[in-house]
Structure 1
């Protein structure tokens, strides 16, 4: 395998790592760079390319686990947690995360085949990017000026369920899971940072489940020819996702969602010009 192929793996890992958790839609970005691997050398057939997407997504998941490692340790009950606060809120519970996952989980199972067959075209991704941008701008405009919930530990079950229901929009490729869930969170009274933390925590079981199932179905494509490409892409996605998550969490309360929405609208125009 030559250096150019490995460079492509780095670039694709970079795109995945930088866009997976920011509210800009990694799917929308991958549409732009898809041809970089699908038109690559012979070993990168379409099934291998699809497997590569799963591998680099796992790199992004690992980055979230690292950033929120203490939170996941607490959620899984692997150490004693502090007593509840004087306000009686305590810490975020695993059951609240599960409540947030249920709506999209049910719809995802029911409509998985339809989504895969009909919603992964460039046109549908553009629609998702555009409508998702409108939701994000709406959320910034109509969210309470003073958030009721400033940390993820103050989230209620009702808020978790509401965020989970809004997350269903992200089943439409291009809508963006983080864009939908952060919007839903701030509309229920969460700060942007609290909504982002909850979004990232929920993303891990969703992405691990989907990636795990896909890996089991595509294990035969981990050949010696493709393995260096996979490894380089995984590492690239992990490193850039780690940097992206830390930067985004520091930034989100200051800039909110609208700048990302504007960027997405510009992206729609760029993709349209490229493909149409």
Structure 2
């Protein structure tokens, strides 16, 4: 059984990186290998605790979530209801379907070498999204069309490769579809809620039979830590992603990939 300090450390890493287009999964894999946290249970842990950070988004976007189910408060009654469950389904079904089919193969990619590839490839895709963005036709998430939501959903499949980044791929795709950076970021964080709920639920069902009470306690610590850290950081980070160019995050990814490569050859994981 791993020390609870490992759960604490990984939980902090998840909470700090979930809302930035730098790949929280990639960071957890890299940190996990550095501290000896690897294996099937580590892979499951790295998926499950992401829900803790995503719940922080649910708190921020609770009005948006209510609107999806036809419930609107006074603040949103004056605004036309555009984003609905069809938009959400189009944006999440492609990645969820592919993840279900390729789950066992995806887990084989949870290693530093593949994360480095994902960091670089994702960074390049984000630069493409920034540089080739057409004229902005969508300045608010509620203006997205079904076609644009589907395009984002297809691009989200790229994030199944660890290190590519779910938020990075979907924000870049949204921009390539004509959405502003802020609108694309808003939609990305909204669709993260059902995606991570589904991924966490599936992982828990698959692994529940082999879990011990210590494993559940370990997961709980990581879950709570990621939630608390994300709750503190979420507002600042969401605003940051909506304002900063994706190229800045790409540069960070390239630098991190280079450092990891040097570390791998000099020290080894």
TM-score interval w.r.t. the shorter chain? 0.7 to 0.9
From 6, 9, 23, give the equivalent of 1:8. Answer: 6
- Name stretches of at least 5 consecutive residues in structure 1 with no aligned partner: 40-44
Structure 2: gaps of 5 or more residues: none
Distance 1:79 1:253, change over 3 A: closer
Other-structure match for 1:133 = 123
Aligned length: 263
Aligned residue number for residue 202 of structure 2: 213
Q: 2:48·2:203 contact (CA, 8 Å) conserved in 1?
A: no
Match of 1:26 in 2: 24
Is residue 95 of structure 1 aligned with residue 86 of structure 2? yes
CA distance in 2, matches of 1:267, 1:142: 24
Offset from partner CA, 1:6-32 (integer Å, 9 cap, x none): 443222111011112310011221122
Quote the Cα distance in structure 2 between the aligned partners of 1:67 and 1:188: 25
Q: Who is 1:123 aligned against?
A: 113
Displacement, 1:82? 2.5
* Aligned 8 A contact 1:55 1:230 in 2: yes
Distance in 2 of aligned mates of 1:224 and 1:253: 41
Conserved in 2, the CA contact under 8 Å of 1:48 and 1:221? Answer: no
Residues 103/22 of structure 1: CA separation in 2 closer, same or farther (3 Å cut) = same
Taking the aligned partners of 1:47 and 1:128, their CA distance within structure 2 comes to 20
Give 1:113 deviation, angstroms: 2.8
1:249 aligns with 2:249: no
Alignment correspondent of 2:169: 180
**Match for residue 42 of structure 1?**
none
In the superposition, the TM-score normalised over structure 2's length comes to 0.87
Equivalent residues of 1:149, 1:189 under 8 A apart: yes
Q: Which runs of 4+ in 1 moved over 6 A?
A: none
Using the alignment, how far apart are the partners of 2:100 and 2:221 within structure 1?
A: 32
Q: Tell whether the 8 Å contact from 2:126 to 2:246 is kept in structure 1 after alignment.
A: yes
Alignment correspondent of 2:77: 82
Q: What are the equivalent positions in structure 2 for 1:163-202 lying under 5 Å apart?
A: 163-202=152-191
Aligned equivalents of 1:150, 1:72: Cα separation in 2: 19
Partner of 2:42: 49
Question: 1:27-75 CA distances to partner (integer Å, 9 max, x unpaired)?
Answer: 2211221146645xxxxx8454344334422211211211111111111
Paired residue secondary structure (1:252)? helix
Q: Is the 8 A contact 1:38 1:46 kept in 2?
A: no
Change (3 A) 1:103 1:231: closer
CA contact (8 A) 2:136 2:180 kept: yes
